[in-house]
Amino acid sequence: MESANRIVELASRQTVAINDFLEENKLPTPSLGLNALQSPHIPDGASDIQAARELVIAACPELKALLTGPRQLLKFNVMDGLLKAILRFKLDQSFMENTPGVISHSALTAIIARDEAARNALVVELDGFWPAGVRMADAMKRWPNSEESNETGFSPENNSNKSMSDIFADNPGRSERSGRYFSKPEPVAAPDDILDHYPWFLQHNNQLQSASPGESLVSSVVQDLPNTITEGTARLPTDLRDRVNFYGTPVSADVYYFRSIFHNCADKCCIKILQSLVPALKPGARIIIHERILPGLETLTTADAKRAINLDVGMQQPLNTQQA
C-alpha cells in the first residue's frame, strides 16, 4: 500500500539531511553553474549522508512521476517470458505487481484502458510523430535548410516523398485518428483572448473571412482545402448555415482572421498565403493573425524552457515549420 506522504518520504527527509550536513560543515551546496563542483563534496566517512544521496537519486524518477501525474506522464509504456520482463521493467510507474506473477494497471496505464482520447493520442504519437523525430537528423542531412513539408523525417520514415498531410489523406484510418487528435479541446482561454477583447462589432459589421473553422462571428466565410470544405459544410450546425460559408479562394471581406494557421507552415508558405489575399483586399480591410508565440527562453524557468524548445522542435520534425 502506498504511503499517504509518499512525496515527503521520497524527497523531504533525505534532502533536508543532506542540506543540513553541507551547511553545518560549511560545504558548497550542489549547483550546475559554470564554476560548480563536478560532484557534491560529501566525505567518504559520512556514510549516512552518502546513503541519503543515493536514495534521493533513486527516488527522482518516481518523484517526477508523482508530481507530473499519470495523464501528462503518459507517453510510452508498452512472447511469455519476454512480456513479463518488459512489464516488470516498467513496474516503477506503469504497471503494478502486488501479487507475484500478477501484473495489474497503475493510474498511468489505466488511462490508456479507460480514456479513448488518451489512447488515440498515444497511437498517433507512436505511429507518426515519434518515428518522424527519430528520422529528423536524416532529413536535415538529406535536405539541408529545407522548408518543404515533404522533406521531413516523416517522409523517409513512411517510405514516401509526400508530406504528412498527403500521407494521411491516402490512409483514412490514420487520417481519422489524426483528426481526432488535433480536435481535442484546447486549454481554457486566457483573459486577453482575442474573441473577448477585439472590438469585432464596433469596427466590423459586415463580413469576416476566417482561415480557422469553428470561429463564427457575424457573417463568416471559411477558406480551406477541398476535403475540409466538404467536411465542414456537412458538419456545420443548422443555426449557422445562414451566416457561414466555405470557399477555396479568398473573397472580399472586412477582416481576415488566421487562427493557428501559420505555425503549421514554413516561412515561404506564410508569405504566399498573405500574398494570395492581395487581389481580394479592399480599402480598410484588416488581417488578424492569432497564434501562440513562444516567449524568450531567458524569461522561462528551466522546465518551461525545455517544453518550449520541445514544442519548437516538435513542429520541425513532421512539418519543417517552427512554433517560435
User: pLDDT tens digits, residue range 272-286?
Assistant: 989 988 988 889 888
CB 153 within 8 A of CB 179: no
Considering only residues 300 and 244, tell me which one the structure prediction assigns the higher pLDDT: 244
Model confidence at 245, pLDDT cuts 50, 70, 90, reads confident
Model confidence at 289, pLDDT cuts 50, 70, 90, reads confident
pLDDT at 305 over 50: yes
Model confidence at 218, pLDDT cuts 50, 70, 90, reads low
Model pLDDT, residue 144: 92
C-alpha 20/C-alpha 43 separation (Å) is 14
C-alpha 148/C-alpha 128 separation (Å) is 18
SS (HEC) of 34-62? CCCCCCCCCCCCCHHHHHHHHHHHHHHHH
DSSP letters, 64-79, are HHHHH-HHHH-S----
Model pLDDT, residue 204: 46
- Residue whose C-alpha cell is 513496474: 91
pLDDT at 306 over 60: yes
Model confidence at 141, pLDDT cuts 50, 70, 90, reads very high
In the 8-state DSSP scheme, what is residue 125?
I
Class level of CATH domain 194-290: alpha beta
C-alpha 305/C-alpha 294 separation (Å) is 9
Q: Is the pTM higher than 0.85?
A: no
Model pLDDT, residue 142: 93
C-alpha 222/C-alpha 233 separation (Å) is 10
Model pLDDT, residue 216: 45
Model confidence at 320, pLDDT cuts 50, 70, 90, reads confident
Please state the rounded mean pLDDT for residues 74-101: 56
Model pLDDT, residue 93: 55
**Would you kindly state where each structural domain of the chain is located, as residue ranges?**
1-68, 70-114, 133-185+299-314, 194-290
Strands (E), the chain: 95-99, 102-105, 207-210, 219-223, 244-247, 255-259, 286-290
> Measuring CA to CA, which residue among 156, 117, 104 is closest to residue 135?
156
Model confidence at 215, pLDDT cuts 50, 70, 90, reads very low
Considering only residues 95 and 164, tell me which one the structure prediction assigns the higher pLDDT: 164
User: pLDDT tens digits, residue range 14-32?
Assistant: 888 888 888 888 888 877 6
Model pLDDT, residue 49: 87
pLDDT at 213 over 50: no
Model pLDDT, residue 293: 77
Model confidence at 271, pLDDT cuts 50, 70, 90, reads very high
Please state the rounded mean pLDDT for residues 114-137: 85
pLDDT at 91 over 70: no
- Of 43-57, 69-83, 144-158, 247-261, the poorest mean pLDDT is in 69-83
CB atoms within 10 A of CB 127: 15
